[in-house]
Amino acid sequence: MKNVIKFINAASERTGDWALLAMRLTLAFGFFDPAVRKFDNIVGTAEWFGSLGYPLPKLGVLLAGTFEFAGFFLLMLGLLTRYISIPLMLIMILAITTVHLGNGFAAANNGYEIPFYYLVMLFVVFSKGPGKYSIDEAVVAKIQK
């Protein structure tokens, strides 16, 4: 049993940064399409936001789309990851509470499953950082030398 525990600990140390990279890339690509859809139809999306009761719906569309586009690039690069995670988590909380919650959990029913997973992954990136395969870590390593 000790050998199994030793193996698992060694494997997790070697793969942790790769896992953070995979998570960041998954998140990045997950935010790209929603951002594009918002900017492709600002007026229609603003009308929908307004029907959900969002104040200043056009501004909301522009802010959400901008943060999602920024999230795509910054998460992919591993640049300012903890900072971009905050507004993206807020967007996920708003999406869950105003759009998906009433549909239950299942993604097949437009439920909150997918945005909840994104929220959890963003929280991990926020709390653990981007990992060593990132611009953030390269800058920190350079500063520390």
pLDDT tens for each residue of 79-129? 999 999 999 999 999 999 999 999 999 989 999 999 999 999 999 999 999
CB neighbour list of residue 31: distance below 8 Å, 6 or more residues apart: 68, 69, 71, 72, 75, 88
Tell me the domain boundaries of the chain.
16-144
Instruction: Please report which confidence band the pLDDT of residue 4 belongs to, taking 50, 70 and 90 as the band edges.
Output: confident
Distance CA 114, CA 54 (A): 21
Tokens 């199994």 -> residue: 4
